[in-house]
Every structure is written in structure tokens, then in C-alpha cells.
Amino acid sequence: MAFVKKINVNYVDLDSGLRFGLPALFTDQGLIISHLRYLAWFNQKSESWKERSVFSLKLLIEYIHAVPNYDKATELLKSFTESLVTGTIDYDTLNDPLGLFWRPRKTSNANNILFHLTHYTDFLALQEGYTSSRVNPFRKATSYEERLNWCAYYQKQQNVFLNHLTPKSYIRSQVQKVRLISGFANNKVDNEKVTRFPEEHVERLIYLGFGKNGTPDYKSQAITMLLNYGGLRKSEVFHIYTSDITQNPNNPEEAMVRVYHPEYGASPDPHYKTRKEYLLAETNYKPRNQYRITERLHAGWKNPLLTSDKAYYEVLFCPREKAKEFLAVWVNYLKFQRVEPQGSDRHPFAFTNNTGKPETIKNFQRLHKNAVQKIGLACKKEFGTTEHAHRHAYGYRLRRHGLNQVEIQKSMHHKSPNSCLIYIKPTNEEIKNKMKETE
């Protein structure tokens, strides 16, 4: 009987001896080894990227099982992508002749699935001994498509360092072809919903929401201050070491916080070059971005703009006086509440749980949700009361303080100056008020 299941495996590259913990697909005919090799080749990609690749291939295999009579791979892929968008359910009969019972997906979702499958099959086509043509081959672009490709190329390359070294002949050959099976057109939506944490409730959340029986929760307060006043992504907080938070040498009343690359950042121990080497040699832990996305210690890494050759960036508090408040909360956490790791379980991570192990994102999300509800708010994305909404509040606050786009980019540690636009865009109501002021 045909089946496909996602499992977790330890994959060893026989040539290099490197070992990888990877998601994999197990079918009635065994493991799909080619996809394991593909994921190992792109091991530097994020865990969510790998999981999405596995999910996309699993859907395709399920579709192949449902329609075994397709002979041509390209036609199969075209039918598959159309079924993603239309769904497979006949709503007149409430039945599905394929037995998949897929509901219609958003075009953006279907396009992402098609991207992962095309990327994987392109990799296969480049392997030695692979004789079949690409599943999603190129065709000559129409003049209209070629113009769009040129626009897309210049949009992508305008911020790329050394892009002028790319030969024009190569660029011309690339824009003159498109995929035979292309994605679906997406609607461009400029969502009016405000997703930043409401400014008037931040202090109440930090000082009233986090605590129990009159005792403040200094850990959650410190983490939330890093998110809202420092603009950190929640995953970045959990890569911070205790040694990364110190007094500012130029103003000892303020905290100086550095966020290092979890793997390649400078080691706190001079005997080791990188943090990865340090963790593997001195602890039972590894960089937290290397844990599987399903493991409790996993913390993602978005590759922010680093500002030092030691592979770190410095947190810029806004307003500036919050650096003093944060230092006071951090000191209280160290003195009264931090549980030190013991014995062989020692580690350098700044925030710990009640047994001394590294704190997890999932537990902080729970604490944050409870604190939001404690001050009388609902914890929902559309209300701007989730953890990520603090970063939006930080970006918007930078704009209100008069920083220009490049300054906001550097404060939020984006590689592109355009990435911060989503955080600082005004609402329709703010635009209307601005118009009234000029009347």
C-alpha cells in the first residue's frame, strides 16, 4: 500500500563525515535519499525552510499516489499546482475522487510550494548521472515577461554589493527565459491593521503584567524590554549569553547589550574562535539555531546586519533612558531570580528556567500571553499584542523620534534599507490627520 510519512533521521555524509539531523520522507519504497542529500547540501538554510521543503515534497508524493496515470512529469506538476489552488473537493457532492480532500490554498502558499519543488528538482538535474530533463523546464519569455524579468532583476540587484561584476551577457540570457510552469499572480495588499504593541500599555505590561503574588518576574520584564525598547526579534533574545550584557563603558548607568551570531560570533572564552566551537567543546549544548524546529531549545536566526568583525551587533535602546531601566531589571534578575546551571549542565545562555536550563521561546510566549491577559488585553496578532508586535512598536517609535530610513535600517539591523518600511508605515487615519494639519 502506497504511503508517505515524515520522520526525523541522522544523516551522515560519507565523503566529509559530517552528521546532520534532518527531516525526511519515508515511503512504501523506502527513504527518499535524494531529498536527504539535497537538504544536507543546503544545511545552512533555516530549519523552517527545510521543513517547508519536506512538506512540499510530501504533498507532491501524495498527489502522485492519487493520480498514478500521469506519464509526463511536467504535466503532472502543472496539474498538481492547479489542484493546490482550486482544491480537490467537489462541493456539489461533498466528495473527492482523488481521496485527498485538499481545500483551496492561497496563491502565495501554492507559489511557495512550487518554488521548493522546482528548487529541489533543479538540484537533481545538476547531479552526476541524472539524465532526465528538469521537471519544471525553462521556455523563451515573451517580450512582456522579459521586461518584467529586467524589472525584477534591477529591483533585486540594486542593493547587492559587487553586482556590477555580473556579465551583461549572462543577465540577458537569464531574463529571456521563464519557467514553463509559473506561479500564480498574488494580490498586493497593504494591510491597514495596526500590528505594533499599543504604546499606552507597554509600561503596564512590563511592570504590572509580569509577576505573581506581588513579586516581579524580572526575567520576562528584561526580555520584553529588549523586544520593545531594543527592537530584537524574540528568537534573537535566546542566543544572548550572560557575558553579552554589561555596563556601558561610556556610561556605567546604562546597559550595553550585544547580540552575536549564534555560530560564528566571537567566543567568550579566548581559547576558542567561535561560539559554536565553544559550546561544543565546553558544554552539552550547540548553537540554538542548529536544533530542529520541533526541539524545545530551537531559536531561529534571521541573519541580521552585523556591525562588528566579531560577528555581533549592539542593541540601540529607544528611548535612550530605557538602557538604564533595563540594566536595573537585569541586575535584579541576576541577584534574585536567575537559577544558575549546575554541574555538567552548565551553559552560558542569559535566561534560564526554574531548573537552570536555557529558557525556551515557547515558555516565554506563554508568560507573555498571560501577562497581556492580566492587564485586560487579548493576545492576538490583529490587536498588536503578540511578542513580535514589540519590534513593530520599536520601528514606529524610531520614526516618531525623527530618524531617517537609513538610520532606522541600522537600528533594526536590516541588510536592506527597504526592509524597515513595513514597520514604519503610517495608518490611513494618521495620513488623514496629516492632511488636516496642512489644510
User: Residue 298's pLDDT is what?
Assistant: 96
User: Residue 34's pLDDT is what?
Assistant: 86
User: Residue 129's pLDDT is what?
Assistant: 58
**Cα(386)–Cα(372) distance, integer angstroms:** 9
pLDDT for residue 168 is more than 70: no
The C-alpha cell 483551496 sits at: 104
pLDDT for residue 2 is more than 80: yes
Which sequence spans correspond to the domains of the chain?
Answer: 4-125, 138-179, 199-424
248-287: per-residue pLDDT in tens?
Answer: 999 999 999 999 999 999 999 999 999 999 999 999 999 9
31 — phi, psi (to 5°)? -70, 145
Contact 139, 180 (CB under 8 A): yes
**Cα-based distances in Å from 197 to 204, 373, 379:** 12, 14, 10
Start-to-end C-alpha separation, the chain: 73
381-400: per-residue pLDDT in tens?
Answer: 989 999 999 999 999 999 99
User: Residue 346's pLDDT is what?
Assistant: 95
158-167: per-residue pLDDT in tens?
Answer: 454 445 445 5
398-418: per-residue pLDDT in tens?
Answer: 999 999 999 999 999 998 888
Residue 104: asked if its preceding bond is cis (omega within 30°), the reply is no
DSSP code of 241? B
Element (H, E) at 255: strand 251-260
DSSP code of 333? I
pLDDT for residue 314 is more than 60: yes
- As a CATH number, domain 199-424 is 1.10.443.10
pLDDT for residue 131 is more than 60: no
Q: Which residue has the higher pLDDT, 25 or 425?
A: 25
Q: In what order do the strands lie in the sheet with 19-27?
A: 4-12, 19-27, 30-31
**Cα(57)–Cα(116) distance, integer angstroms:** 8
Q: What radius of gyration do the chain's Cα atoms show?
A: 25
Look up residue 167 and give its three cell numbers: 556579465
**Cα(104)–Cα(212) distance, integer angstroms:** 45
Element (H, E) at 322: helix 322-332
Across the chain, what does the average pLDDT equal?
Answer: 86
Element (H, E) at 31: strand 30-31
Q: Which residues contact 188 (CB under 8 A, 6 or more apart)?
A: none
Nearest to 107 by CA among 128, 87, 125, 84: 84
Query: What share of the chain has pLDDT > 90, as a percent?
Result: 58
Q: Which residues contact 288 (CB under 8 A, 6 or more apart)?
A: 238, 239, 262, 297, 298, 299, 349, 358
Look up residue 197 and give its three cell numbers: 504593541
Q: For the ranges 118-122, 134-138, 141-145, 279-283, which has the lowest average pLDDT?
A: 141-145
The C-alpha cell 523563451 sits at: 140
